[in-house]
Amino acid sequence: MKVLKFGGTSVGSAERIRHVADLVAPRGKNIIVLSAMSGTTNSLVEIADYLYKRNLNGAKETINILESKYLKTLATLYDRHESREMALREIKSCFNYIRSFASRDVFTPVEEKIILAQGEIMSVAMMTILLNERGYHAEALPALDFMKTGENGEPDSNAIALNLRALLDKYAEADIYITQGFICRNHRGEVDNLQRGGSDYSASLIGAAVEAEEIEIWTDIDGMHNNDPRYVEGTRPVHELHYEEAAELAYFGAKILHPTCVLPAKVNNIPLRLLNTMEPEAPGTLIYNSITGPSIKAVAAKDNVTAVKIKSSRMLLAYGFLNKVFETFEKYRTPIDMIATSEVGVSLTVDSARFLPEIIDELKQFGTVTVDRDMVIIAVVGNLEWTSPGLETRALKALHDIPVRMISYGGSDFNISFLIRACDKVAALNRLSSTLF
Ligand code: ADP
Ligand code: ASP
Ligand code: MG
């Protein structure tokens, strides 16, 4: 059994949904994970935002616009009148449910999560009806019945596997299973989600739960490219990556893959394949447990990074200084990405600036603190074992005329990171492409 996940653009119109049905139907008894149609989750976030602000007209107007998009989709999605009527009932009931929140007195994060879940719920309803119309026994497996997170907010893999296997047993005669990405229930039983872009994570968790033969992430591009195609022209797909390389790229900004998605596949040694819905024959990218010879494979950029420098003469020949610095970040549950140390100071980066004022305040006990905002981490990824000389020099050479605030190499065999100003990002990505590939 395989898990096939289709992102928002892949199900973004009636034509695209029909195309996905053409793709999945002949592939057999697999689990299909769907995102909301592109733009839907953003609109649902906007609706929730209006409801928080008690702007009921704003909410209703946005609900109406989104609903008309769905009704237009249904008009050409089905061949049979009965299928369209059935889908209309499902979609209208979702929109009426969303509307019902406008007449309540309070609006809380719990209601917001319920609203955000409707996009994936509608995709699954539309696809299941379409496959059934085509004569397949498609069974919708409600993610809210099996995808669980624990008290720590992390997915509860044991519960997910138990729940999902029970559902698969219950519907053993089905030809194909369809489920929602992104959505889950938290430990209180409330509707929740795996964060924006989290359908990739759903696919990977489901793959691990059923010990899938492969997890396929179908999207709008033919695999992981060697640089960010949104900023660099002429990028090319990388056909094979090790799990670690893919994880580094995803973490450092390669949007094609949600950063959390690699781990469940890696732990269970399940190959992950990135494929293009618009070009299904293209080989895409295979991510698995195999390392190819020393090479630089791809470059990615992580935005919205802040650098913090703590300078202190007390660090000289002292121990325990770094510990105090790290404890401060830990106290505010703020992860650190890059670190550079010297005799008299340490620089580090964070991508969550939420508790930065408190952190800076506390760090001032230990030294002089300076902060650089609007920075970007450029990650150069590949098999970069330190015993293979010259790889880091090539990357550095490409950035010879760009001011580099920090460099990190040696934390893993797979990554050299450079911290630069956001305004230099596009130039840096392009220089790296022309020098390295
Ligand atoms: P989906 O909606 O299918 O989840 P996403 O928009 O999340 O799709 O991811 C696909 C997009 O990721 C591509 O359209 C591309 O613009 C962007 N992207 C960023 N970096 C890369 C990269 N290195 N390789 C491929 N795509 C990338
Ligand atoms: N629909 C969700 C989002 O837009 C989840 C996903 O597409 O992966 O974030
Ligand atoms: Mg995505």
For 328-357, how does the pLDDT look when each residue is reduced to its tens digit (9 = 90+)?
Answer: 999 999 999 999 998 888 999 999 889 999
Ligand 3 centre distance from Cα of residue 10 (Å): 11
- Lowest-confidence segment of 173-177, 221-225, 310-314 by average pLDDT: 310-314
**Structure confidence at residue 195 (pLDDT):** 95
202 C-beta closer than 6 A to ligand 1:
no
Q: State the pLDDT at residue 317.
A: 59
Q: CB count, 10 Å around CB of 95?
A: 18
The per-residue pLDDT for 182 is 98
In a 13 Å sphere around the CA of 155, the CA atoms on its Cβ side amount to 29
Cβ neighbourhood burial of 93 (10 Å; 0-12, 13-18, 19+):
middle
Report CA(359)–ligand 3 centroid distance (Å): 32
Mean pLDDT score, 203-212: 98
Mean pLDDT confidence for 168-182: 98
Q: Is the pLDDT at 106 greater than 90, yes or no?
A: no
How many angstroms separate the alpha carbon of residue 164 from the centre of ligand 2? 21
Alpha carbons 398 and 80: distance in angstroms, whole number: 58
Mean pLDDT of 96-101: 96
pLDDT cut 70: percent of the chain above it = 99
Of 199, 33, 255, the C-alpha closest to 127 is 33
Q: Render 70-137 in DSSP notation, one character per residue.
A: HHHHHHHH-SSHHHHHHHHHHHHHHHHHHHHGGGSS---HHHHHHHHHHHHHHHHHHHHHHHHHTT--
CB atoms within 10 A of CB 105: 5
pLDDT reading at 208 higher than 70: yes
Closest ligand to C-alpha of residue 202 is: 2
Helices (H), 261-368: 262-267, 321-331, 356-363
Q: For ligand 1, say whether the CB of 140 is within 6 Å of any of its atoms.
A: no
Residue 303, amino acid = D
Q: What is the pTM of this model?
A: 0.95
Give me the chain's average pLDDT, please: 95
d(CA 114, CA 357) in angstroms, rounded, equals 32
Residues 283, 241 contacting (CB under 8 angstroms): no
Best probe residue, ligand 2, of 6, 196, 257, 261 (max atoms within 8 Å of C-beta) = 196
* pLDDT over threshold 70, residue 316: no
Does residue 41 line the site of ligand 2, with CB under 6 A? yes
Mean pLDDT of 98-120: 94
Inform me whether the pLDDT recorded for 318 exceeds 80.
no
Residue closest by Cα to atom 8 of ligand 2: 197
